């Protein structure tokens, strides 16, 4: 199963477990185990590098699971669970770009000051005249 780029994990490292679904397929007369739970033990994986393992464990924990019970078919739920697991692992492996602090432009600062001045004038007009009481 390809996670992102050249990173892939073999399906033998993913444990699939089927159980009764609470949604579609779990309530009809011939009850089937259509709910599928896919779990991946990050620490025991041979396919990931130590840095990838550390990144995933930091963000998702040592065991990553994904559950699907949307469809009546166990096969379709298996596909959905594997796709969700792949998505969670890909998101955990993504390296976020560092944020660089920026400053507002001179025009933005001027607009803010002008808006503040207009607000101040509007509120000043609401007050009663100061000399009359």
**23 class by beta-carbon count within 10 Å (0-12 exposed, 13-18 middle, 19+ buried):** middle
From first to last of its 133 residues, what are the pLDDT tens digits of the chain? Answer: 999 888 999 999 999 999 887 766 555 556 778 899 999 999 999 999 999 999 999 999 999 999 998 888 889 999 999 999 999 999 999 988 999 999 999 999 999 999 999 999 999 999 998 776 5
pLDDT at 32: 77
- Nearest CA among 7, 27, 13 for reference residue 82: 13
- Residue 115 has which token pair? 């808006």
| Number of helices (H), then strands (E), in the chain | 3, 5
Looking at residue 132, its pLDDT comes to 64
Residues 56 and 9: their CA atoms lie apart, in Å, by 13
What CATH code is assigned to 2-93? Answer: 3.30.160.20
Alpha helix ranges (H) inside 61-128: 74-93, 106-126
């Amino acid at each position: 199963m390809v996670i992102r780029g050249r990173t892939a994990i073999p399906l033998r490292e993913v444990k699939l477990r089927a159980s009764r679904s609470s949604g579609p397929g779990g309530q009809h007369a011939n009850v089937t185990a259509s709910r599928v739970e896919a779990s991946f033990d990050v620490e025991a994986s041979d396919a990931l590098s130590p840095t990838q393992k550390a990144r995933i464990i930091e963000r998702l924990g040592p065991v990553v699971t994904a559950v699907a019970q949307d469809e009546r078919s166990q096969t379709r739920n298996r596909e959905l669970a594997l796709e969700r697991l792949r998505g969670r692992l890909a998101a955990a492996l993504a390296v976020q770009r560092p944020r660089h602090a920026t400053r507002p432009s001179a025009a933005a600062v001027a607009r803010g000051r002008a808006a503040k001045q207009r607000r101040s004038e509007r509120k000043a007009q609401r007050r009663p005249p100061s000399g009359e009481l």
